[in-house]
Structure 1
């Protein structure tokens, strides 16, 4: 089973753990695959500078982060950048790191991360904020975020976290990682309890209820695609995608797109296994 590797930082110690994709939710692994193939070898060179773009309108904060990163391999790109629409010219064949350092609504951050990953698919994106809840982290990781760093981190820990991200891993603080693990455990226990009583729709029944278009969109959700990306990929209006997603949530009995993606990651594979088994029996 594929997994997302997370780097958890606590008390000065960094721990790497793997969380299965069907527990993590949306998988932005497609970005990592390309990154690993084309950029990782360069990023592993400790003497190779990493072009670092700080998206932050606060001059004081920009100055502070620039001071923290001075003397490291993370070379700040000159010029004020407060939005993905006014990015400086970048060489996408070399390691590029975007750091988003401003307070925005979750939807705005998701759109920003998605835009950066669409424009620069080989880049790495880190969000720096005072705090972030697990649900927001899941949404941002689904959009392509590669790391979340708290403003309370010490200088050396922040630099190490950025090193982990530029080496192709996903970094989040231990508190969030442990919360996600606990949520996954509770989810498994809840599904096991449902299985003992009157079950909801079986995977086969739910899959049969989906139209071909809904199945296509559900597969896009498992890849962490935003509504805009799905609409562009399928050649339909974004409003149409939203209507289909509402129908999908109802049919698979999910309360949000993340739950639907978690459900689909396992059950699409299960359905394919059943088809292969029937074919072998014939």
Structure 2
């Protein structure tokens, strides 16, 4: 895949800086700060999602695109929460891949058409179902008030849903990174999540969503 990507991108406006395997531990060491990082999604989703977080923490301004032969909707949601800007299929034609990367660099979020269809199918199914008693639906899900999150914790939780690392959150809120870590631990404890990904997924279902996903066509 790496050599194939090199051949495709050499014929585009993108300039390759480095192609490297993900480190087992530690930081990435590209020759320059990358504007775009391509990550091959392995079968173990937690591994490449953690790599996405490492890239976001080390290069906050870099755009991230994940490549795979297929994408599960739940995994796409986790990747988006971690900071992925685009999801592209390895079977895409070179012209489609290049155009998708260009859209990502313009600030768009790109999804394969199959994922978009899954999303729209879910919306249609929800519209077709008869309305249910809101009090019953809400009783099945813990609400934000029940978790007793502080205003600052709510603010940080919103940042987690955007896949922002502690360093970026600290800079945005003008507090120390160590303070952010303390707040994140408190958030995980209060909502019963075991990690940042679970917290982001929990919050994404309860906080207003930001941003629009554009289909990969």
Structure 1 length normalisation: TM-score? 0.57
- Aligned: 1:65 with 2:5: yes
State how far apart, in whole Å, the 2-side matches of 1:220 and 1:190 are.
34
Deviation at 1:228? 7.1
Deviations 1:234-261 (A, max 9, x none): 34286554322317xxxxxxx9752542
Residue matched to 2:72: 133
Query: 5+ unaligned residues in a row in structure 1: which ranges?
Result: 1-60, 248-254, 267-282
Contact persistence 1:130–1:150 (CA under 8 A): yes
Alignment of 1:78-117 (within 5 A): 78=18, 80-83=20-23, 85-91=27-33, 96-117=35-56
State how far apart, in whole Å, the 2-side matches of 1:165 and 1:69 are.
15
State how far apart, in whole Å, the 1-side matches of 2:144 and 2:8 are.
51
Deviation at 1:71? 2.0
Corresponding residue pairs, total: 193
Q: What SS does the corresponding residue of 2:138 show, helix, strand or coil?
A: coil
Deviation at 1:184? 3.8
Residue matched to 2:158: 222
State how far apart, in whole Å, the 1-side matches of 2:112 and 2:184 are.
34
State how far apart, in whole Å, the 1-side matches of 2:18 and 2:49 are.
25
RMSD, aligned CA: 3.5
State how far apart, in whole Å, the 2-side matches of 1:219 and 1:191 are.
34
Residue matched to 1:200: 138
Deviation at 1:102? 4.6
Residue matched to 2:215: none
Contact persistence 1:97–1:125 (CA under 8 A): yes
Contact persistence 2:87–2:111 (CA under 8 A): yes
Greater radius of gyration (CA): 1
State how far apart, in whole Å, the 1-side matches of 2:65 and 2:178 are.
25
Contact persistence 2:149–2:190 (CA under 8 A): no
Contact persistence 2:86–2:111 (CA under 8 A): yes
Question: Against the structure 1 CA distance between its residues 109 and 192, is the aligned structure 2 distance closer, same or farther, given a 3 Å change threshold?
Answer: farther
Deviation at 1:118? 1.8
